[in-house]
Each structure stands twice: as structure tokens, then as C-alpha cells.
Copies of this chain bind each other. A is one copy, B any other.
């Protein structure tokens, strides 16, 4: 397709109309790759923060912080979250409620008696690596490995999938979280 329009005529037009140009307003409801990575990084930092708070200030302070993290980073106030934590199983495999998620991270809920408190395990290091990122408007999916290292230097690697939803304030919230230990062939 030949294009007869040229830069000169375009510039002329610009001169002609530029005196009434609008201030272009842009609303963007989509998630960028940078936003996804910031949210992934923040998740690990929050995990370590809860661990450190637990060590330094005790269980109550850790629980209070975990609530703040859940409120800010997960979408439980936007409806159910599809959450399969690493170390949950049986009838409590899926934590679609706020209470179920909170118990997984800091334990202490008699309704989830098997929970040991994943965020209380003394995590000191965190890293994620993505095999793939899928950006689809206000929803972004990631899949890859997460490595967490405790104070004894032991590293646990998990296979992790996240789904992030951009909320009304433009912040990313986790609405999907599937974490599992690597398959161990024997």
C-alpha cells in the first residue's frame, strides 16, 4: 500500500490546528510487566518482614503485620482468592477465605489446626524467577520458581503461579496463588 501522505503536509496540519489542542487525559487500567515484578518482589519482602517481626517482636506483632500484608497484597475484599498454599492439604488445601490465608501464614487458628505458620519459619532470603508472564489487561499471570532461604541457610524452592488483579486504586492484588513443592521422582 503506497502512502502519499508525507511529513510536510502533516506538519502543516499540525500548525493549522495546534492552537486548540486539548490536554490529552489518559486512563490506563492494564498491568505492565514492571508492575508485576514489583508485586512479586514485594511479596517476598513482606514474607521476610513477617519472619523478622516474629523473631524480634513475637507472634502478636507478626500476626498484625500479616493482616496488613494480606489486606494490601491479596484480593480477599474483592471476592474469593484462589489460593493453594505450598504446605496445605486435604479439606483445607484451598484457602479461598481471608481467615484460611491468615492461618496459613501465621498459624494460631483452631479451625486450621495443622498450620505451622509459613511466614514464621525464619526466612531471610527470597528470590523469584519467571518461566513466563502473561499480561491480559487488568489481570496478569506469572509462573516460575520461588526460592526462600531460612536463617540456617537452607533453601526451599517451590513452583509458583500467581494471578494479579489491578484494583480501583491501581494497585496489584493477588487473586490466584498456587504454590507446590517440586515433584520428586523416586
Contact = CB atoms under 8 A, between A and B. Distances in A.
Task: List the number of copies, as a whole number.
Answer: 4
A9 B178 CA distance: 21
B30 A136 contact: yes
B184 A141 contact: no
Interface string A144-180: 1101010000111101010101011000000110101
Which 8 residue pairs of A and B lie closest in terms of their CB atoms, listed nearest first?
Answer: A137-B137, A180-B180, A94-B131, A27-B79, A82-B143, A30-B30, A25-B80, A14-B155
Contact of A126 (B5, B80, B163): B5
A127 B29 contact: no
Contacts of A142: 82
A138 B138 contact: yes
A139 interface: yes
A96 B25 contact: yes
Given A3-B45, A4-B186, A130 B180 contact: no
Interface of A: 1-7, 9-18, 20-22, 24-31, 33, 44-46, 48-49, 52, 65, 68, 78-84, 86-91, 93-94, 96, 114, 124-127, 129-139, 141-145, 147, 149, 154-157, 159, 161, 163, 165, 167-168, 175-176, 178, 180-186
A165 B126 CA distance: 31
Contacts of A155: 11, 14-18
Contacts of A165: 136
A24 B130 contact: yes
Given A27-B132, A125-B12, A157-B17, A86 B183 contact: yes
